[in-house]
């Protein structure tokens, strides 16, 4: 087996993310701080489908690392992803383990960790077996888990598209942590691409970059901010001690042709959705004190989970719509999801809605218009009035056409809830709209745009 050594610096590639199909990925991490930043990038990229995350014995112990992964997933609203802990190695813990395991969370912001932790090999076997098509394996620590899994069934090697590993042949920290695993993975004939660790070409997390990340209002940036705000971590940033090792490796999933470091590429990976600018107002309200009292408890949870673009779209939709409504918010969520999956900026999508022209379902159209920029005035949205109205739309961006539809179980539940409101209050009473508002806030927070829609690419020409 030939070990491919990819001397990796960073740079700009020409391939557009929206032309790529959704790529199944498994992440293997030893949960140092740079792993957290790498996971923030991977988990916020709509073209990546993370099938599992497993932890190894490296910067953190496998068990504590897995616990921290679960906390991270809870923070991002992605706790549907299976997590497994690998076996402990018979070698000393690194001197920075305590720093890695505390992760810089402030005690008052530490997310809960309610789920049990599974065995890494069992999680990997299930993910590799059940994922349609080959999987890209991103390894940010020792190769222990992959070696242990392939030893149980070497045929699983055929389920791997590529293994991108932050390590090289010895001397290297990840390789030297478990050299037997490196030899085993190599002998299994795995398509391994090793990323060279070159401190001279791997920049630090400096104060200027930290300030730029903090200014981004995305879930990925908020996660990095929360896990780096501890005083000890801030001192390391001031000293330029922290390097962007695993952050750089994760970018290979998004831009395989990168050849040199570019700060803008890194920041864009933390902000995958093109931002909505302002025309009249200076900024969108994100301080709870600027919002009405019943909305204030929801502001930070919604921003943390779904990011600034969905927040802006739903706020504008509600002002246009003149009341908070579940269907208009669903339209905003679907419009943002369509932009994520197609890579479209505002005003670049053409939209065909199947929500009809009769409220309450037609309220969905308002959210679609605001979130995508497709409008009647631009002539880029039309509403199909034949057939049964439903929360469904077709989006076209260049050579790509995408169909999104609200999943049937969610649509049925919302229909039942709406019928109950009408039965209790009538359809247009003040009591009706008061309870609609309460339900809409709950739905806004609970319904994750990455999980509630059936997603079908109709055309995606190369």
Q: Classify 4-269 by CATH class.
A: alpha beta
Same fold, 4-269 and 288-460: no
SS3 of residue 459 by DSSP: strand
- Burial class of residue 274 in the structure, from the number of CB atoms within 10 Å of its CB (0-12 exposed, 13-18 middle, 19+ buried): middle
Give pLDDT, residue 11: 31
Sheet containing 135-139: which strands, arranged edge to edge? Answer: 4-6, 192-195, 160-165, 135-139, 23-29, 48-55, 83-85, 118-119
Q: Within 13 A of 416's CA, how many CA atoms are on the CB side?
A: 6
For domain 288-460, which architecture applies? Answer: 2-Layer Sandwich (3.30)
Alpha-carbon dihedral sign for residues 372, 378, 379, 383: positive
Tens of pLDDT along 339-395?
A: 987 778 888 899 999 999 998 899 999 999 999 999 999 999 999 999 999 999 999
Closest C-alpha to 140, from 237, 67, 37, 68: 37
- Average pLDDT by consecutive 10-residue portion of the chain (462 residues)? 35 34 90 93 87 95 93 84 94 81 63 75 97 94 97 96 83 86 94 78 87 83 88 90 88 78 79 77 91 95 87 95 93 94 84 95 96 93 95 90 95 92 83 90 94 81 40
Q: In the chain, what are the domain boundaries?
A: 4-269, 288-460
Tens of pLDDT along 3-50?
A: 333 333 333 233 333 334 578 999 999 999 999 999 999 998 877 899
Q: How far apart are CA 97 and CA 64, in angstroms?
A: 10
């Amino acid at each position: 087996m030939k070990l491919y050594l990819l001397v990796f610096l960073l740079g700009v590639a020409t391939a557009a993310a929206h032309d790529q199909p959704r790529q199944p990925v498994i992440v293997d991490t030893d949960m140092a701080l740079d792993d957290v930043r790498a996971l923030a990038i991977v988990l916020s990229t709509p073209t990546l489908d993370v099938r599992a995350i497993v932890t190894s014995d490296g910067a953190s112990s496998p068990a504590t690392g897995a616990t921290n992964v679960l906390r991270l997933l809870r923070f991002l609203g992605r706790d549907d992803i299976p997590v497994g802990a690998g076996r402990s190695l018979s070698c000393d813990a690194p001197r920075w383990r305590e720093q890695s395991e505390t992760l810089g969370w402030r005690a008052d912001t530490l997310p809960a960790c309610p789920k049990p932790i599974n065995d890494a090999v069992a999680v990997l076997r299930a993910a590799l077996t059940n994922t349609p098509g080959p999987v890209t394996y991103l390894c940010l620590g020792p190769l222990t888990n992959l070696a242990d899994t392939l030893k149980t069934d070497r045929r699983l090697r055929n389920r791997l598209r590529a293994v991108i590993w932050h390590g090289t042949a010895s001397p290297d920290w990840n390789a030297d942590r478990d050299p037997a695993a490196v030899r085993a993975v190599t002998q299994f004939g795995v398509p391994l691409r090793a990323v060279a660790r070159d401190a001279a070409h791997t920049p630090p997390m400096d104060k200027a970059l930290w300030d730029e990340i903090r200014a981004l209002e995305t879930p990925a940036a908020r996660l990095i901010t929360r896990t780096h705000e501890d005083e000890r971590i801030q001192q390391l940033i001031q000293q330029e001690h922290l390097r962007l090792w695993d952050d750089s490796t994760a970018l290979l999933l998004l831009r395989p042709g990168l050849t040199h470091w570019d700060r803008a590429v890194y920041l864009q990976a933390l902000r995958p959705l093109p931002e909505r600018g302002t025309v009249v107002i200076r900024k969108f309200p994100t301080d709870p004190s600027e919002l009405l009292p019943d909305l204030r408890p929801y502001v930070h949870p919604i921003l943390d989970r779904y990011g600034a673009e969905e927040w802006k779209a739903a706020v504008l939709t509600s002002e246009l719509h003149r009341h908070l409504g579940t269907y208009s918010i669903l339209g905003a969520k679907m419009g943002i999801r369509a932009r994520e999956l197609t890579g479209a900026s505002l005003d670049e999508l053409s939209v065909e809605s199947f929500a009809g022209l009769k409220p309450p379902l037609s309220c969905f159209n308002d959210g679609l218009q605001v979130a995508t920029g497709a409008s009647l005035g631009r002539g880029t949205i039309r509403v199909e009035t034949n057939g049964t109205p439903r929360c469904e739309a077709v989006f076209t961006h260049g050579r790509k056409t995408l169909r999104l539809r609200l999943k049937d179980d969610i649509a049925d539940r919302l229909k039942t809830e709406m019928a109950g409101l009408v039965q209790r209050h009538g359809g247009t009473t003040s009591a009706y709209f008061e309870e609609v508002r309460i339900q809409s806030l709950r739905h806004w927070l609970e319904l994750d745009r990455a999980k509630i829609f059936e997603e079908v690419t109709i055309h995606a020409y190369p």
